[in-house]
C-alpha cells in the first residue's frame, strides 16, 4: 500500500518510543485460553456428556491489558496501569503476566477484596493444521457498583502519576455502568487533570460510548459513532468525515473512527480530515484486538510527534498485522509495522 509516512519519518517517530512515559487507566482483565485437543474424546461417566480435554492453558492481560500488550510490543519506555484486580486466583495470574512485561510499573495497580478480577475464559478447539475454533466464552465480571473506597484509591494513584506523563489512555470495557474503573467520579478526576495539564495527550475509548466524557481525543468504531450521533450505519464516507470534524471542533480534540474494512478516519480541530483505507487481506483473519492495537499505536505515534496522517497510517498497519494472528489477541511490533508499510 502506498504510504504518506516515509521510512525516515517512521524511524524518527518510533525511535522516541523508548523515552515515552504513558499511563493506561481502565478495565484490565485476564484473557485465559483453554486449548482443547479434539482428538482426545471422552464421555463423562457421571453425566453422559462429552468431556473436553484441555491440553494447554495460557493467560495474558486482556481488556485494557490488550492495549498494554501492544504498547509493550512497541517498546514504550515506562507504562503505568491504573486499575484493580481482585484478591483471587485470576488476579494472581494477571499479576504474573504483568510481571513478565518489560517497562510495566505496577505502583498504581491495586489489589482489592472488594472486586473480583475481570476474566474472559476462552475455550478453543485446536486441531493440527486447522485454525483454532473458539467455543462459548466463560466470563467473570463485577455486577455491583465499584465501591467509593476503590474509586478513591484509583483517583489518588492517577493524580500522583499525572504530572510525570506524556500521554494517558482511558479504556472503558465494562457492559454495566459504574461497575468498572472509569466511573463518573474517576472520569471527573481525569477531566480535572486534563484541564490542569493541557500538554498531556489523553485518548479515550469506551464500548458503551463516550457521551458525558470530558473533552479528550476520542477513538471509536462506526457503531459507537452512530450511537453517539444518530448517523445511519451505512452513512457514506463524506457524511462520516463531516461528523468526525464536527466532533473534533466541538471538543477541540482529535477524533478517530475505525471503519472495519474501510480503514480509519481521523479529524482534527484545525479542519484537517484524513482517511486511510485498510490493507489488503493476506489470509484468514481474527479481528479480536484490532481496535486496541489502533488505540495503542495512535497514542504512541501522536505522543512521539506524528502528524494526524502519520499516526493513522501507523495504526492502520498495526491493525492489519494483528488481525492476521489467529486464536489469540495479538500485538504488532515496530519491525512488523515497518515491514508491512515499506516492504
Task: Work out whether the CA dihedral 188, 190, 195, 196 comes out positive or negative.
Answer: positive
**For the chain, what percent of residues have pLDDT higher than 90?**
78
d(CA 83, CA 237): 37
Q: CATH number of 7-27+65-116+142-342: 3.40.1190.20, 1.10.132.10, 3.40.720.10, 3.10.20.30? A: 3.40.1190.20
d(CA 200, CA 40): 53
d(CA 226, CA 183): 23
Q: What is the DSSP letter of 341?
A: H
Question: How many Cβ atoms are within 10 Å of 241's Cβ, its own excluded?
Answer: 18
Residue 22 pairs with which residues in a beta bridge?
79, 167
Residues 6+ apart with CB under 8 A from 161: 23, 80, 82, 108
d(CA 263, CA 257): 9
- pLDDT tier for residue 41 given thresholds of 50, 70 and 90: confident
The three-state secondary structure class of 212 is coil
Long-range contacts of 50-56 (CB under 8 A, 24+ apart): 52/123, 52/135, 54/123, 55/126, 56/126
d(CA 196, CA 89): 39
pLDDT for position 261: 84
Which whole number is the average pLDDT over 96-105? 93
**Which of 19-28, 55-64, 173-182, 324-333 is predicted least confidently?**
324-333
> Residue 188: phi, psi to the nearest 5?
-65, -40
Query: Is the pLDDT reported for residue 131 higher than 60?
Result: yes
Q: Are 215 and 201 in contact (CB under 8 A)?
A: no
How much is the pTM? Answer: 0.91
Burial label for 81, CB within 10 Å (0-12, 13-18, 19+), is buried
**Which of 4-13, 158-167, 189-198, 283-292 is predicted least confidently?**
283-292
Q: What is the DSSP letter of 104?
A: B
The three-state secondary structure class of 173 is coil
Q: Are 200 and 165 in contact (CB under 8 A)?
A: yes
Amino acid at each position: 500500500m502506498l504510504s504518506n509516512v516515509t521510512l525516515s519519518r517512521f524511524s524518527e517517530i518510533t525511535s522516541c518510543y523508548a523515552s515515552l512515559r504513558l499511563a493506561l487507566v481502565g478495565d484490565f482483565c485476564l484473557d485465559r485460553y483453554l486449548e482443547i485437543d479434539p482428538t482426545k474424546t471422552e464421555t463423562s461417566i457421571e453425566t453422559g456428556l462429552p468431556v473436553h480435554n484441555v491440553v494447554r492453558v495460557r493467560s495474558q492481560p486482556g481488556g485494557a491489558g490488550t492495549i498494554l500488550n501492544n504498547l509493550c510490543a512497541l517498546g514504550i519506555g515506562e507504562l503505568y496501569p491504573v486499575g484493580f484486580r481482585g484478591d483471587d486466583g485470576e488476579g494472581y495470574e494477571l499479576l504474573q503476566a504483568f510481571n513478565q512485561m518489560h517497562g510495566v510499573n505496577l505502583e498504581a495497580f491495586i489489589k482489592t477484596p472488594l472486586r473480583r478480577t475481570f476474566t474472559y475464559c476462552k475455550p478453543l478447539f485446536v486441531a493440527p493444521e486447522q485454525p483454532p475454533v473458539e467455543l462459548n466464552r466463560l466470563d467473570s465480571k463485577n455486577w455491583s457498583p465499584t465501591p467509593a473506597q476503590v474509586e478513591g484509591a484509583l483517583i489518588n494513584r492517577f493524580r500522583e502519576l499525572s504530572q510525570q506523563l506524556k500521554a494517558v489512555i482511558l479504556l472503558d470495557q465494562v457492559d454495566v455502568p459504574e461497575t468498572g474503573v472509569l466511573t463518573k467520579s474517576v472520569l471527573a478526576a481525569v477531566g480535572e487533570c486534563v484541564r490542569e495539564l493541557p500538554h498531556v495527550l489523553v485518548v479515550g475509548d469506551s464500548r458503551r460510548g463516550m457521551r458525558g466524557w470530558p473533552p479528550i481525543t476520542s477513538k471509536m468504531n462506526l457503531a459507537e459513532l452512530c450511537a453517539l450521533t444518530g448517523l445511519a450505519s451505512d452513512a457514506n464516507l463524506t457524511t462520516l468525515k463531516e461528523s468526525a470534524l464536527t466532533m473534533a471542533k466541538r471538543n477541540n480534540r482529535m477524533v478517530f473512527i475505525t471503519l472495519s474494512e474501510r480503514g480509519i478516519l481521523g479529524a482534527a480541530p484545525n479542519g484537517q480530515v484524513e482517511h486511510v483505507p485498510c490493507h489488503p487481506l493476506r489470509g484468514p483473519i481474527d479481528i479480536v484486538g484490532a481496535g486496541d492495537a489502533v488505540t495503542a499505536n495512535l497514542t504512541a505515534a501522536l505522543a512521539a510527534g506524528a502528524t494526524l496522517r502519520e499516526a493513522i497510517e501507523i495504526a492502520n498497519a498495526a491493525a492489519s498485522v494483528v488481525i492476521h494472528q489467529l486464536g489469540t489477541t495479538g500485538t504488532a511490533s515496530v519491525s512488523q509495522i515497518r515491514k508491512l508499510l515499506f516492504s
